[in-house]
């Protein structure tokens, strides 16, 4: 059995026990730097109609462990590896021992070459981190204002999460505004930082970030062209001088936009980080 499969199955059982026997794919995100699709894929493989069953609850895909439903929630086990049972290297670092942590990381990077799962995981973790402290419907603008994604990207991603059963779309009847509601999870900033750093090790995770940079580059070029056009008629500066100056400014602007590292971190809704 692969490290990813064993880790996800054991983690699902532990989290389900702590949640009273019922979980969603979102519940596993704070523990592992993987995409929701990978989580759902392995949870679906666990479904057998008796030990694990799945259904959709108000638009959100849910998995139930019938044997745990009446047992009452129990605290998550700490300090033991969820894969092999050995002593974990850290209670915060995915509850894995060093060897299993290394095996899982290598397997995920190999898997990224064929499925490019980091392209989805990077924004899924960001949006679930932002919404993890919200209780109730969330407006798109509230998420966009705390995200590294553009407003149009946030709208598209939230719609996709709702379509895939990881959130539910809710219309605010009073104001006629589309909002989204997520299953409640606890996602600590330290865990998010670790997961985000690991996911970003693979180039495919930068897809959205490069889209933003390309848009900024195009806007900068348009602004430079407009300024040069205005200066030609207003300041009577000769075209050759403007072309040379515009090329220098454009080159410097593009270099800054394309090489500047993103240091801004997303913020959670309704709570200080």
- Express each pLDDT in 165-208 by its tens digit: 999 999 877 778 899 999 999 999 999 999 998 998 876 555 55
Confidence of residue 62 (pLDDT cuts 50, 70, 90): very high
| CATH topology (fold) of 3-115 | Arc Repressor Mutant, subunit A (1.10.10)
DSSP string computed for the chain = --HHHHHHHHHHHHHHHHTTSEE-GGGGGGG-S--HHHHHHHHHHH--SSSSEEEEETTEEEEE-HHHHTT---PPP-SB-TTT-SB-S-TTTTT--HHHHHHHHHHHHHHHHHH-THHHHHHHHHHHHHHTT--S-EEHHHHHTTSSS-HHHHHHHHHHHHHTTSSEEEEETTTTEEEEE-------HHHHHHHHHHHTTSGGGGHHHHHHHHHHHHHHHHHHHHHHHHHHHHT---HHHHHHHHHHHHHHHHHHHHH---------TTS--
Confidence of residue 211 (pLDDT cuts 50, 70, 90): low
- CA angle (79, 84, 90) in 5-degree steps: 30
The pLDDT score that the predictor gives to residue 272 is 47
The pLDDT score that the predictor gives to residue 273 is 41
The reported pTM is: 0.76
- Express each pLDDT in 24-55 by its tens digit: 999 999 999 999 999 999 999 999 988 999 99
Confidence of residue 269 (pLDDT cuts 50, 70, 90): confident
The pLDDT score that the predictor gives to residue 98 is 76
The answer to whether 228 and 242 are in contact (CB under 8 A) is: yes
The pLDDT score that the predictor gives to residue 44 is 95
> Quick one: average pLDDT of 92-107?
76
Q: Is pLDDT above 60 for 23?
A: yes
Say what percent of the chain tops pLDDT 70: 71
Q: Is pLDDT above 70 for 212?
A: no
Q: Is pLDDT above 80 for 260?
A: no
Q: Provide the mean pLDDT of the chain.
A: 81
- Express each pLDDT in 66-88 by its tens digit: 988 877 667 666 667 776 766 66
Domain layout of the chain by residue ranges: 3-115
d(CA 235, CA 231): 5
> Quick one: average pLDDT of 223-237?
67
| 102-111, 125-134, 166-175: range with highest mean pLDDT | 125-134
The pLDDT score that the predictor gives to residue 239 is 66
d(CA 128, CA 170): 17
| 95-99, 139-143, 265-269: range with highest mean pLDDT | 139-143
Nearest to 230, CA basis, from 242, 245, 218, 247: 242
């Amino acid at each position: 059995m692969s490290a990813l499969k064993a880790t996800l199955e054991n983690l699902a059982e532990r989290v389900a026990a702590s949640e009273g026997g019922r979980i969603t794919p979102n519940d596993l995100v704070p523990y592992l730097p993987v995409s929701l699709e990978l989580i759902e894929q392995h949870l679906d493989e666990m479904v057998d109609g008796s030990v694990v069953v799945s259904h959709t609850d108000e638009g959100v895909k849910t998995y139930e462990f019938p044997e745990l439903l009446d047992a009452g929630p129990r605290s998550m086990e700490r300090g033991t590896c969820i894969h092999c049972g050995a002593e974990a290297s850290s209670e915060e670092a995915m509850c894995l021992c060093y060897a299993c942590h290394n095996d899982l990381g290598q397997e995920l990077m190999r898997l990224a070459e064929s499925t490019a799962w980091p392209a989805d995981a990077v924004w899924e973790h960001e949006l679930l981190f932002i919404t993890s402290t919200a209780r109730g419907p969330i407006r798109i603008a509230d998420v966009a204002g705390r995200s590294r994604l553009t407003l149009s990207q946030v709208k598209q991603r939230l719609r996709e999460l709702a379509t895939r059963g990881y959130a539910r779309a809710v219309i605010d009847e009073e104001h006629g505004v589309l909002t989204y509601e997520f299953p409640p999870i606890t996602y600590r900033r330290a865990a998010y930082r670790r997961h985000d750093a690991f996911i970003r090790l693979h180039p495919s995770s930068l897809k959205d970030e490069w889209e933003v940079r390309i848009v900024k580059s195009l806007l900068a070029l348009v602004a430079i062209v407009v300024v040069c056009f205005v200066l030609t008629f207003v300041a009577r500066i000769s075209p050759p001088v403007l072309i040379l100056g515009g090329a220098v400014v454009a080159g410097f602007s593009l270099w800054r936009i394309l090489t500047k590292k993103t240091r801004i971190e997303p913020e959670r809704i309704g709570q200080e980080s």
